[in-house]
Structure 1
């Protein structure tokens, strides 16, 4: 059973904040979430001289907190216990990583605007530095979740993400499908037949799925789809699958071979984050990796 003792929601005072707060409330309604921290950092070093001259010694933190409190009062009514944290630190990602450690945050909810509106640089930094799982919520995402796609590569991290997806599916009555993208050693064509190579690759991957199902009986009946990369990256194939079928949530297990999470994000999560997908992306670290 999935329980979240503490969840952090990162706000940036943009029009996506209301949607993030509403999404946080829906999570509290459907999952056991004990406490939510709504967080914003004011980078005072970026305030222009014009601002300082116009507003002088205004207590900006108090004004920002009041603004967030209004949004929370309107969009989080009926949610769980919560707290608003506004800070003034030069480095936002380090400040948020400290909060994760201080309050034992299990999940961070991070908003994402489309690429034509934002570079996503801060989000990428947060993905690399936050010592917890991250749920990326695009501005175009739907609040209602009915189906999950769990993309796996058979690593321990991806199996952890898959097991979380299954628990989430069972708790909330969601549809779940597993996806694996396989690649062929094209450097050996035409020495070997492409048709035979595809057949052999499918046979090997299907064997891996059978072994996985034996080790984790709870996923034995979950349908899975095998997709050949065929000249595209794994992230591109996952993105195409999302467009092909109707899913409401994508779950990926973050790499865990390196003991420092910030050095083990992996190219697939990074590439998917930088793509304009319109469903939430849950990037999962296991507790073992975090520790």
Structure 2
């Protein structure tokens, strides 16, 4: 059973907050979540002089907390133990990373607007700096999750994401599909026929799947799909398969063995985050990686 000891929900006082808090409620109703922290950081230095002149010495933190309390009361209720945390720090990423460590957060829930409304710069920074798994909820996503897609590359990180997805699917009775995107070494064409190359590549990948199923018996019955990247990136192929298969959740494993934090995500999770998809994106670190 998947248990989340502490979950953090990042709010930005925009229209997406209501959806994000409601989504947090949906998570708590379906999984065992012991404590939820609703957080917001006020960047005081960004407030205009006009604002300061109009409102003077107003206790902005208390006002923001009251606003969040209203949203939580309406969209979350008392479905789980929760607390509202409002800070006034110049660097949002740093204070959120500190909260993750201080409260031992296992999962951070983050809202994401479409690219025509936001650059997503803060979210990208949080993905690189927060020492916990993240669940990204696009503003166009649905709460009702029935089908889960987990792309794998046979790395330890992707296998961890697969095993978590299987546990989640068993617990909530969801449909789970595994996906692998492969590439062909184009420099050998036309020395080798494309048909033979595809056949050989798929034989190799099927062998890897057979080995994976032997090592992890619990995933033996999970259907998998092989997709050739061809002229598209892996992330583009994943996005197309998401839409075609009408999946409701995408799970990706995050790698953390790179000494440079800015390079630890991997290109596919980063590109998927920056793609306008309509399903929640669960980016998963294993406990070993976080430690």
Instruction: Give the TM-score of the pair, scaled to structure 2.
Output: 0.99
How far apart are 1:258 and its partner, in Å? 2.1
Q: 1:171: which partner in 2?
A: 171
Cα deviation, 1:96-122, whole Å, max 9, x if unaligned, reads 000000000000000000000000000
Tell me the distance in 2 between the aligned counterparts of 1:162 and 1:103: 27
- Aligned position for 2:192: 192
Provide, for residues 148-205 of structure 1, a one-character-per-residue CA deviation record: whole Å limited to 9, x for no partner: 0001110000000000000000000000000000000001111111111100000000
Between the aligned partners of 1:257 and 1:202, the Cα distance in structure 2 is 28
2:122 paired with 1:84: no
**Match for residue 8 of structure 2?**
8
8 Å contact 1:43–1:91 — kept in the other structure? yes
Is residue 163 of structure 2 the alignment partner of residue 158 of structure 1? no
Aligned to 1:276: 276
* Equivalent in the alignment of 2:142: 142
Deviations 1:255-286 (A, max 9, x none): 13325655310110111111100000000000
Distance 1:25 1:48 in 2: 35
CA distance in 1, matches of 2:272, 2:21: 23
In structure 1, the residue corresponding to 2:34 is in which secondary structure? strand
Match of 2:181 in 1: 181
- What are the Cα deviations for residues 133-160 of structure 1, in whole angstroms up to 9, with x where unaligned? 0000000000111110001110000000
The residue that corresponds to 1:28 in the other structure is: 28
Distance of 2:260 and 2:63 partners within structure 1: 37
CA distance in 2, matches of 1:168, 1:261: 28
- Check if 1:111 corresponds to 2:111: yes
Deviations, residues 220-245 of structure 1 (Å, cap 9, x unaligned): 00000000000110000000001111
Aligned counterparts of 2:191 and 2:200: Cα–Cα separation in 1: 15
Alignment correspondent of 1:64: 64
Distance in 1 of aligned mates of 2:186 and 2:172:
42
Q: TM-score, normalised by structure 1?
A: 0.99
Structure 1: stretches of 5+ with no match in the other structure: none
CA–CA separation in structure 2 for the residues paired with 1:48 and 1:191: 65
Give a deviation string over 1:47-85, Cα, whole Å, max 9, x none. 111111111111000000000000000111141000000
Instruction: State whether residues 25 and 78 of structure 1, in contact with CA within 8 Å, keep that contact through their aligned partners in structure 2.
Output: no
Counterpart of 1:40 in structure 2 is: 40
- RMSD of aligned Cα (Å): 0.9
Correspondence for 1:285: 285
1:236 maps to what in 2? 236
8 Å CA contact retained: 1:259, 1:289: no
**Runs of 5+ in structure 2 lacking a partner?**
none
